[in-house]
Amino acid sequence: MDTKTTTQPNNATESDAPKMADASAWLRFAQIVSLTIGAGLLLAGIIFFFAYNWDAIHRFAKMGIAAGLLLVVFLVVMIVPMRNFTRNIAIFAMCVLVGVFWIIFGQAYQVQADSPTLFLTWALCIAIWVYVADFYPLWAFFVVLLAMGVIPYNHLLIPREGWELSIMMIYSAAWFAFFYLTPRWLPSRTEAPSWLLNTLFVMTYYWAIFSMCRVVFKDSGLYVFIALIAIAACIWYTMKHKKLLLFSWLLFGALCLLECLFIQLFDIGGIVINIITMIGAFVMAIVLIAHQHEKWSKDKPGGNNN
C-alpha cells in the first residue's frame, strides 16, 4: 500500500520539496514501529532475563521455555488473523527461536557440536517456513545461515587447493539463479527485491574476480573456467537488464583484475607504467559508463537504470 503523498511526478528532481508523510502514513509508521520495537525490546528483555538466571535453571526448564515460546508463536501465526507483514515478522521470530532452542539443547547435553553444525541444523529446520513465508529479509537471513553452516566445510567439498573461492562463488551464483528464476517458473512466488539480487550478483562476480586474481599470482585449474562462466553470466545479466550500478561494479572488478596483472607483470620497478596504465583504464571505464548511461536512457526514457 503506497501511503506517500505523491503530488509530484515520480522523477522529481532534487531541488523539489521532499514528499511529506500524511496521516495514513504516520498511522502505519506508528503501528509498525510500536510493534517491531515492542516485540524486539520484549524479546531482548526475555533473553537478558534468561542470561542472568541461566545457571539456576534446570536444563528441562530451559528447553521447555524455548520450545514453549516456539509453540506460542507458531499458534499465533496459524490462528490469529493479521496482516502479511506482521505474520512475516512473527515467522522470522519463530525461525530465530528455533536457533535458540538448538543452542540451549547443545549446551544442556554438551553434544560437542561445532558452530557450522549448529547453523546447518538451524537452517534445515527452518527451510520450509522460509519458503512458505516468501519474505525476502527472512530469505536473506536463511542464505547467510546456510552459508555459515556449509562454507566452513568446503575443505570436504573442494577437489584440490584453489577451489575455496569457487565454492563461495558457486554458492552465491546458485542462490542468485534461484531467486531470479523461481518467480518466472512459479507464478505464485513474488519477485525478489533488487537489493537481494544485486547483493548476490556482486558476491558472485567478485568471488569470480578473486579466483582470476589467484590465477594471476599462483596457479590455475578447472575453477578458472567456472569463474569465466560466472563472469560471462554476470555480464549477460547486466546488459540484458540494463543496470548501470551493476555495470559500474563490473568495470571496477575489471580494474582490480587489471591491477593484479600489472603488479605481476611490472613489479615495483615499473610502478610509473602501472600508474599511467591504471589512470588510462580508469578514464576508459568512466567514459564507458557515461556512454552506456546515455544509450540506456534513450532506450528507457524516464526509467531508473540503477
Partner 1 sequence: MENTEPKKTDKHLPWPMLILSGLGGLLIAVLVTFFILMTTYENWRTTATILSILFIIGAIATTQKDNDIIAMLFGLPLYITGFVLGFVALKSESIAMIVEFIVAIIAFALCKSQTCRKCLLFYILWLPLQIGWSFTNFHHDSLFSSVWSYIIVLIYIAIFGGTINQKRIEHLEVDHYLPVVRFTTALVIGVALCYMSFFQGVTQFAFFYAIAFIFASASFAIAYHLLSKHISGAKLAISCLLALLCCAATTVYPAMAPAFLGMILSYMILDYKCLTIFAAAFIACVSRFYYDMDILLIHKSYLLMGAGALFLLIFFCIKLLTKNEQN
- Per CB under 8 A, residues contacting partner 1 are 4, 11, 13-21, 23, 25-27, 29-31, 33-35, 37-46, 48-49, 51-53, 244-245, 247-249, 251-252, 255, 259, 268, 271-272, 274-275, 278-279, 282-283, 285-287, 289-290, 293-294, 297, 301-302, 305-306
Given the complex with partner 1, which of 181 and 286 has the nearer CB atom? 286
Given the complex with partner 1, which of 40 and 64 has the nearer CB atom? 40
The region, left, alpha or beta by phi > 0 then psi within -120 to 50, assigned to residue 242 is left
In the complex, minimum distance from the CB of residue 226 to partner 1, in angstroms, rounded to a whole number: 26
In the complex, minimum distance from the CB of residue 275 to partner 1, in angstroms, rounded to a whole number: 5
Rounded (5°) CA angle 252-229-169: 70
In the complex, minimum distance from the CB of residue 1 to partner 1, in angstroms, rounded to a whole number: 14
Given the complex with partner 1, which of 1 and 132 has the nearer CB atom? 1
Look at residues 127, 248, 143, 261 and name the one whose alpha carbon lies nearest to residue 192.
143
Given the complex with partner 1, which of 53 and 107 has the nearer CB atom? 53
In the complex, minimum distance from the CB of residue 26 to partner 1, in angstroms, rounded to a whole number: 6
Given the complex with partner 1, which of 20 and 124 has the nearer CB atom? 20
- Which residues on neighbouring strands pair with residue 4, listed in sequence order? 21
Query: How many Å apart are CA 78 and CA 57, to the nearest integer?
Result: 30
- Collect contacts of 63-72 with beta carbons under 8 A, ≥24 apart: 63/101, 63/104, 63/105, 63/108, 66/97, 66/100, 66/101, 66/104, 67/101, 69/97, 69/100, 70/94, 70/97, 70/98, 70/101
In the complex, minimum distance from the CB of residue 247 to partner 1, in angstroms, rounded to a whole number: 7
